[in-house]
Amino acid sequence: MTVNELIEKTGYRPLNVSSGYREISGIYNCDLMSVVMSKGFAGAAWVTIMANINAVAVAALTDMAVIVLSEGAALDSVMVEKAKIQDINVVQSDKPIFETSLEIYELMQNA
Amino acid sequence: MSNLVFKYTIDGNDFTRAGEASSDTKGKLKRMGLPPEAVRKVAIAMYEGEINMVIHANGGEITVEITPTQIIMTLADNGPGIADIEKAMQAGWSTASENVRALGFGAGMGLPNMKKYSDEMTIDTVLGKGTTVTMKVNI
């Protein structure tokens, strides 16, 4: 499933989708940057509440497919600007982390 | 043949730009066709170091040197120095502020991660003068 397809199927709000063709390889959850740096993986849909600029840097370094801000995490305009520059997809879900992750997981199973 | 060298100045006042040097280095190493695992190790180790320089040391200079067998990162700052390296190397030990923790850092994993993801790491630190961390990743 691509990031574009994820948005189509879930209605998550696209905050920056500059490479929606990216294929999602799996789901990752964590809010602690040092752990994310070492455990985050290429192509991941990273479901997190960390709506800050550093999340974009970490997603870029780990080559994740999309940051999924959950719990309706507050949008930071600087973060979106940074995401555009670094070409990192960011979408927003109003659901909690678990429900969001489960939703993506089920869509991946049926893809 | 002389080794390839990149230099970066890390702005200690700008948390929003922290990670740019690591990101730039990662892109360059990737384009040079270096092994993905080595590139990943450099990206993680250097990012942690870069964040540390911003959080603790008001910035500094990073030099990345690529030799035929290794990627050598030298992170030099004029910060307060590390009072107790043994403690600083312990997972979970941190002097980071609440503000920094709220951003998802300060869990006491920076230096341990830097050691874990480099093949060789040395720390030279003088209290009140600064710290230089050298990390080597084998290609």
Q: What is the mean pLDDT of residues B32-39?
A: 95
Using the predicted structure, report yes or no on whether residue A75 has a pLDDT greater than 80.
no
Q: Under a CB-based contact definition with an 8 Å cutoff, are residues A43 and A21 in contact? A: no
Q: What is the mean pLDDT of residues B82-109?
A: 90
Asked if A54 lies within 8 A of B103 by C-beta distance, the reply is yes
Find the CATH number of the domain harbouring A80: 3.40.1390.20
- Tokens 């994310």 label which residue? A36
Token reading at A2? 């691509």
Domain at B4-138: CATH architecture: 2-Layer Sandwich (3.30)
Contact list, A61 vs chain B (CB under 8 Å): 19, 22-23, 26, 43-44, 47
- Non-local (6+) Cβ contacts of A34 within 8 A are B48, B105, B107, B109, B110, B113
Distance from the Cα of residue B136 to its chain's centroid: 11
Q: What is the mean pLDDT of residues B62-80?
A: 96
Q: What is the mean pLDDT of residues A57-79?
A: 90
- Domain range spanning residue A96? 3-110
Q: What is the mean pLDDT of residues B111-125?
A: 96
Give the number of C-alpha atoms closer than 13 A to the C-alpha of residue B106, restricted to the C-beta side: 13
CA B113 to CA B70: how far, in whole Å? 19
Confidence class for position A109, pLDDT limits 50, 70, 90: very high
Measured between CB atoms, does B64 come within 8 Å of chain A?
Answer: no
Distance from the Cα of residue A29 to its chain's centroid: 10
What percent of chain B has a predicted confidence (pLDDT) above 90?
Answer: 78
- At B1 the pLDDT is 59
Asked if A38 lies within 8 A of B44 by C-beta distance, the reply is yes
Q: Got the DSSP string for A22-91? A: PBP-EEEE---HHHHHHH--TTEEEEES--SHHHHHHHHHHT-SEEEE-TT----HHHHHHHHHHT-EEE
- How high is the mean pLDDT of chain B? 93
CA B42 to CA B26: how far, in whole Å? 7
> What is chain B's length?
139
The residue among B106 and B75 whose pLDDT is bigger is B75
Measured between CB atoms, does A77 come within 8 Å of chain B?
Answer: no
Q: Under a CB-based contact definition with an 8 Å cutoff, are residues B42 and B29 in contact? A: yes
Asked if B109 lies within 8 A of A53 by C-beta distance, the reply is no
- At B15 the pLDDT is 80
Give the count of Cβ contacts less than 8 A between chain A and B: 60
Q: What is the mean pLDDT of residues A104-109?
A: 96
CA B110 to CA B113: how far, in whole Å? 5
Using the predicted structure, report yes or no on whether residue B87 has a pLDDT greater than 90.
yes
Using the predicted structure, report yes or no on whether residue A23 has a pLDDT greater than 90.
yes
User: B4 to chain A nearest CA, in Å?
Assistant: 21
Measured between CB atoms, does A60 come within 8 Å of chain B?
Answer: yes
Total domains, chain A:
1
CA B37 to CA B113: how far, in whole Å? 15
Measured between CB atoms, does B117 come within 8 Å of chain A?
Answer: yes
- At B120 the pLDDT is 97
- At B43 the pLDDT is 95
Among the residue ranges A13-17, B23-27, B104-108, the one predicted with the least confidence is B104-108
Measured between CB atoms, does B116 come within 8 Å of chain A?
Answer: yes
pLDDT in tens, B48-59: 999 999 999 999
Confidence class for position A12, pLDDT limits 50, 70, 90: very high
User: A20 to chain B nearest CA, in Å?
Assistant: 20
Domain layout of chain B by residue ranges = 4-138
Confidence class for position B137, pLDDT limits 50, 70, 90: very high
Q: Under a CB-based contact definition with an 8 Å cutoff, are residues B131 and B59 in contact? A: no
Confidence class for position B2, pLDDT limits 50, 70, 90: confident
Measured between alpha carbons, how far is residue B3 from residues A80, B64, B66 in Å? 37, 10, 6
Measured between alpha carbons, how far is residue B130 from residues B23, B56, B57, B60, B124 in Å? 24, 10, 8, 9, 8
